[in-house]
Amino acid sequence: MGQEQASIKERERTDLREPRRYKVIIYNDDFTTMEFVVRILTTVFFKSPAEAETLMLQVHRSQSAVVGIYTYDIATSKVQKATRMAREEGFPLRLTVEPEEN
The pair phi, psi for residue 61, each rounded to 5°, is -85, -40
The pLDDT value given to residue 101: 86
Q: Which CATH number fits domain 32-102: 3.40.50.1240, 3.40.50.10710, 3.30.1390.10, 3.40.50.300?
A: 3.30.1390.10
Q: How far apart are CA 81 and CA 52, in angstroms?
A: 17
Q: Tell me the residue type at 90.
A: G
pLDDT tens per residue across span 10-66: 767 677 888 899 999 999 999 999 999 999 999 999 999 999 999 999 999 999 999
pLDDT value at residue 4:
55
Q: How far is CA 22 from CA 3, 95, 99, 102, in A?
A: 51, 12, 4, 11
pTM above threshold 0.85: no
Residue spans per domain, the chain:
32-102
